[in-house]
Structure formats: structure tokens, C-alpha cells
A and B are shown apart, each in its own frame.
Chain A
Amino acid sequence: MNKEIFSEIPMRTWNWLGVNEAVVDRDLLVESQNLDIKIEAGHQEKMLVEYRKESCGTVNINIGENAVLKLTQLQLMPQNCNHVNEINVVLEKKAKLQLVAVETGAKSFASKVNIILKGDKSQADVSLLYFGDGDRSLDMNYVLEFQGRKTVGNLEVYGGLMGESQKIFRGTLDFKQGAKQAKGYEKENVVVLSSGVRNRSVPIMLSGEDDVVGNHAVSSGKINEDKLHYLMSRGLSPAEARKLVLEAAFNPVLELIDDEALRQEIDSYIKERLENE
């Protein structure tokens, strides 16, 4: 089959780790649809992108001065599909982006998000939820590039993995020289539910500017036993308790989804998978 490099991390590392690039079927890239969007200066917009059927896509966005965009992207592909998606955003002065991304579908997917905080005081808040089960493969590459002064970028990632799923999450905060007083924060919390999982995380921080504050943190572990115990002492079955704990873990992202029906859909999608475990 024809393979092609879809995404790469901004700085390479040991090849044996297998995280330097994501390789996907060329066909997927050929089929990919482009969407170009410009948010005019001062405007406030909300957008929803859903991937449900065999489709791949790229969304290119420019957010004008003082404009605000809330972009929600849901990937709820059927379990037998392969999928790629890409988001490229450039933020002008004082522009704001809130990106809520949910990656719960497809047999195998690769996504990449590239956000450029170009204008001074622009801000991007990214919340990502991913969930893997069965023998699914999840590949994500998120880059926040700080160019402007006093830019702010937050990347919060909540993940759950079970079955034999494999995941790579790469998250980069890249402070360019001149991005004075920029602030970047990245965190990834992964809850691992079964022993067959392979979980790879690459939290990268690059800096050519000293006048910045950058933090990243990753934690990966089992579901919190104390919480489970507490819930079970209130009469919940282990499965119910796990569902509840995981739901709580995902809530920071779920509650950002405005559409109640969609939120319910994702919630029950995950619950269903937990039950079939």
C-alpha cells in the first residue's frame, strides 16, 4: 500500500520510540477535503465540524484581530474506517480560539493541529478528549507556536485507553524568539483501563525566548483506586464506578460541548465501550 508521512514532530528523537512521524495511507490524503475559513476582525463565531462517515479533512482558519472563534471538532467515525484530519489556525492580534476536539472513533486515525499565535496577546485554549478501545490506533500531533508578545496557549488533554489500543500523543509548545511574556501550559492525563494498551506521550517544549513561562505535565496511570473504593462503598458495582470515574475525568472537555445531544452521544458512546470491555 502507498504510505506517506502525514505529520512529524517539530524536533526528532530516537527512532526506536516510533514517535517521530505518523505515516498514513496516501489514499486518505488524496480524499481529504479542504475548508478555508476567515473570521473577520472583531467577529465572534462558533463552528462545529463532525466526522461521521468515510471522510477526511483539513480546516484552515484565520482569526482576525479581536475576533473570537469556538471550534468544536468531533470525530465519531465508524469502527472500521481509517481517518485523517488536520486543523491549521493562525491567530491575529488579540484573537481568541477555543478548540474543543473529541477523537473517539475510527479504527485508525491520525490528526494534527497546528496553531500559530501570531498576533500579540492572542490566545488559544485547546481541550482534547481521546478514547481508544479494541485494537484501535490513535495518533495525534498538536503544536502551539508562540510568535506574538503576551500570547497565551493552553493545551489540556484527557485520554482513556482500553483493550489493545495504541496511542501516540505529541504536544508541542514552541516559543519563538520575540514571543516575550508568552505563557504556555500543557497537560495530558491518561487513564489506562487494560493491560494490553500501549500508550506513548511526547510532551515537547521548545524555546528561543527567555521571557516566557512554559509548563507541561503528563500523568499516566490506572484509574484511581481510592475513588473506585469510595464509590463502591456507596453501592456502585465496579463497572459502574469505573464509568463514573472516567466520566468525571472527561468532564472538563465534555462540558465544553454546547449541544446537549452531542454531549450525550459521546458520553453514551464511551459508556457503551466500557460495558463491552
Chain B
Amino acid sequence: MAQEKTYIEDIERTLYDIKNVDKSKYKSQSGLTEDIIRDISARKNDPDWMLEFRLKSLEVYNQLSLPNWGPDLSELNMDEIVTYVQPDAKMTGSWDEVPEDIKDTFDRLGIPEAEQTSLAGVGAQYDSEVVYHSIQEDLVKQGVIYTDMETALHEHEEIVRDHFMKLVPPKDHKFAALHGAVWSGGSFVYVPEGVHVEIPLQSYFRLNAAGAGQFEHTLIIVEKNASLHFIEGCSAPKYNVTNLHAGCVELFVNDGARLRYSTIENWSRNMMNLNTKRAVVGKDGVIEWVSGSFGSHVSMLYPCSVLKGENAKCEFTGVTFASKGQNLDTGASVIHCAPHTSANISTRTISKAGGKATYRSAVKVTKNAPYAKCSVNCESLMLDDISRSDTLPTMDIEGDEADIGHEATIGRISDEAIFYLMSRGISEDEARSMIVRGFVEPIAKELPLEYAVEMNNLVNIELEGTMG
């Protein structure tokens, strides 16, 4: 039995791989120049300060070099990436007005259906622009704003200006700078003080055009004692050229507020997914991340939580599944800046068929954060001996009142566990499948039902136990 290999079927991608004919109304030239930025900005009718912001970001972009750590990004050639693709569609509040082929795409992904059954609001982005946005009437009455970033930039300019890339400044890293220069689309959510949005809002991002980049910006502000669950989904059909996703998510969780941010990322295997997500949490506030990384060719994704107010909390739950041709470098970081802040990070990674999965994290406890507590638990499962699994956590703790614990394990499915299940009449393949599903269960149970189902499909084990 020791020689047997487990074959786990790759995620059924046909659904995501249907590509539409590229009917975009406008595409920027590939590459990145000041002219392109000015052009994008003019087309988007940016206020002057935003154009300036974009140009400054471009400057920063040109000054910064690629990170000297993490996955190899040399395949990425910015001169070949089209930064702005405007679909031939106006933003609308009715699916009927969304062009047929684009609507079909979202239909196939089940978005309109989910909207009716389980969501309080939906946003849908196609290439660089948001094509659909809606929100339940009663939330609007309570002052909740859920719209695309462009609309927000014009209708709520002050709020946007006060928050936009304040948490993730362009100088943070090269792709943050790139994002600042060419961002387009994304969602804006504002939940006023004391308002609880009981049903989740969801934005879905779809990149259809080949060789393009998607740079959506998500800005969420949850005011004092308010709460929200926001879901983000991403997919793209597979092309033979490299696509780039360099989105940016900024979450402002104010005192006593609670935000759950769930993501299932299932980009196609030609995507470089270099996404930046950051939350700042006020006194007694809570940020909960639920993060599933399954797709893309290369990912670098480490949602960061800045626990700024006393007693602020972070819960991070993540699962990463790296298969053939994938290098998924994921994890989390937490910065404790106030007393009694606490964080729990729990991750599972699986690698198979030559895939590389890396868990990377940073826990920083500053001098201002006595009684900080943080516990990290990461488990890695390897399904064969041609894959890689690496774990690289760092803890940087100042002061003597912090309580920090970290645990990690790495290994494969235990033969003894298989024997145990088989002794109960469960077949070998089913036993393996059960163990893998059990392995990701702590994450699956945190996901909205339809995502949990999607994830379970993904972890479907093929009935194959051949001698290796």
C-alpha cells in the first residue's frame, strides 16, 4: 500500500473555460506608458486628483523592482499585458440589459440564480468594467451603498478620496503601484453605523479577454457596530497567453464592526494572480477572512489584517490546492498594534501532480500591543512525491506580554488511517477521498453553501489506486 498513489481529479473547469468572442468596445494598447494611463483616465472620466494619483503610481511602479522573494515572475511581460479592456456594455441594474453573451457567462456561473436565492446584492465585472450591480431595496433605505467603484468615485467622491489606497499605498510593492496606475472596476460598499447586512453581498469578477489584466479595486467601509458578509468570486477562461490579475482590496472595519470576507479564487491556469488585500480593524472590531485558492498559474496572496484598535480580532481560514503547473504562494499576515488584540490563522494546503504550494505568513506584534494573542496552525498534505509543499512563517514579537503559538505539519495520507477506514468496509479510494475532504473540512464549513459544494466537487477523488 505504501507505493500507491492518490489521484485527485482536477477541478472540473469546462464551466469556466467557455470563452466568449472578444467583443470589447475598447482595448488599451498593451504595455504601460503615461499616454495609456491618461487615455484610461480620460475614458473613465476620472476627477483630476485621480489622474494625478494614477500618474504618481506609474512613477512609483517604474522605480520599484520585482520582489526578490516568492515565486518566479519572469514569465510576466508587462509590455504584453493589455491593462484596460472595456466591454461593449453599460453598467446596469437589470440583467435584461446586460448583453446576451456576457449575461450567458454569468448565467452559467449561476450568479443571477444565487442573487435570487441567497444574496442581498450582486456586482458583476466583465474584463475591466462592472456590467451589473444591484442591491436589495431595504438595504438602500438603511443607507447601505453597494455600487461599482467608478460610480462611487463620482457619487461619493469624498469617501473614496479619504480611503482609496490609503491602506495599500502604491509604494507598498510593484503591483500595488501598477494597480494604482491602471485600476478599473471593482466594488464599493458602505455600511452605515449600526446596520447589519444579514444576507451576503457578492461581487463576481470575470476576465474574458486574452492577454489582458484585471485591476479591480474593492473598497469596503463598515462603520461602527455594523456588520457585513461580502463574497468575492473570480474566474477566467484559459488562454495560452499570460493574463494578469492585480486587484486591490481595502477593508475598513471600524470600532465594534464585523466583516466577513469570503473568496473562492478559481482563475484559469494562465493567470498571474498578484492580489493585495488588507483590512484595518478598530476597537472591538472583527475581520474574518475565508480564502480558497484553487486556480491561477502563479498566485501571491497574503491578506493582511492590521489590528489597530484595542481588542480587535482577526480570524483567517484558508485552503490552497496546487496542481500541475501551479505555483500558489499564499498565506496571511497580521499586525498587532493595540493591546489585547487577537488572531487565529488556520490553513490547509494540498499539492499534487507537480504543483507547488507555499504557506507564507507574518505575525508582527508591536510594542504597543501588550497582551496580544496569536495562534497559527497550518497543515500541508502532499499527494505524491513530485509536488512541493513549503511552509514559511515568520513571527516578530516585541514586548513580554504577547502569547504567540505556531504549529505546522507536513505529510501525506497516513496508511494507518486508510487501513482503519477500510476495516469499516469503506473502499480504499473512498477512504482517501474521505480523508482529503476531512482535511479541508474546517475550511469548507466556513464557506457559504454553494462554495462549499464547489470546493467539495473540486476535491473529488478519482477511483484510482494504481501501483506507482
Contact = CB atoms under 8 A, between A and B. Distances in A.
A and B touch in the complex (CB under 8 A): yes
Nearest to A172: B392
Given A12-B69, A13-B394, A14-B394, A207 B404 contact: no
A209 B385 CA distance: 5
A210 interface: yes
Interface in B383-400: 383-400
Nearest to A214: B410
A100 B404 CA distance: 26
Task: Please tell me the size bucket of the interface on B.
Answer: 35 or more
Nearest to B381: A210
A198 B394 contact: no
Interface stretch (A82-90, A120-128, A217-225, A260-268): A217-225
Interface string A196-224: 01111111111111111111111111100
A276 interface: no
B405 interface: yes
Contacts of B405: 217-220
A210 B392 contact: no
B69 A15 contact: yes
A197 B362 contact: no
Task: Please tell me the size bucket of the interface on A.
Answer: 35 or more
A17 B333 CA distance: 11
Nearest to B359: A205
Nearest to A173: B410
A221 B402 contact: yes
B399 A207 contact: no
Contacts of B388: 206-208
Interface string A60-85: 00000000000000000000000000
Interface stretch (A23-31, A187-195, A228-236): A187-195
Given A12-B68, A194-B400, A202 B2 contact: no
A47 interface: no
Contact of A17 (B370, B382, B394, B412): B394
Contacts of A214: 408-411
B341 interface: no
A209 B408 CA distance: 16
A195 B394 CA distance: 20
B62 to A, nearest CB: 20
A206 B70 CA distance: 14
Contacts of B397: 192, 198-201, 220
Interface in B37-58: none
Q: 3 closest Cβ contacts across the A-B interface?
A: A210-B382, A12-B69, A214-B410
18 contacts: A11-B69, A11-B390, A12-B69, A17-B396, A18-B396, A192-B399, A197-B400, A202-B395, A204-B391, A204-B392, A204-B393, A205-B408, A205-B410, A206-B391, A208-B385, A208-B388, A214-B408, A214-B411
Interface of A: 11-15, 17-20, 175, 177-178, 180, 192-195, 197-222
Interface of B: 2, 68-70, 333, 360, 362, 364, 367, 370, 380, 382-412
